[in-house]
Amino acid sequence: MKDGTYLKLNDTFILSHAKTGYWVAIGETTLDDTLDGQYVGVWTNPETDEVFCDRSVWVADLDTAGKLAIQFVQKAIWDCANETEIWTYTLV
């Protein structure tokens, strides 16, 4: 599975093509533990090739996304419009 955010529907993972808003991880998970209707972010650490899965939520505005990321002790959020991460330390 390529890096990206996926919606699980009927036991199938569908890649999200969100062009606005922000993805925020709210906790580690596995693909097997992801329920239908939930989003999971999949990303690979380029230094170790280790793959991570995070339960994720989509948030429309940066302020709310940043607060949620800090609440769930995340290092970054994903900016859909610019296709890049935003480090939470830059939001405080």
Write the pLDDT tens digit of every residue in 38-69: 999 999 988 899 999 999 999 999 999 999 99
Count structural domains, the chain: 1
Residue 5 buriedness (CB in 10 A; 0-12 / 13-18 / 19+): buried
Q: Name the residue range of residue 18's domain.
A: 4-90
Name the pTM for this structure.
Answer: 0.91
Q: pLDDT by residue (tens digit) across 12-23?
A: 999 999 999 999
CB contact at 8 A, 39 and 57: yes
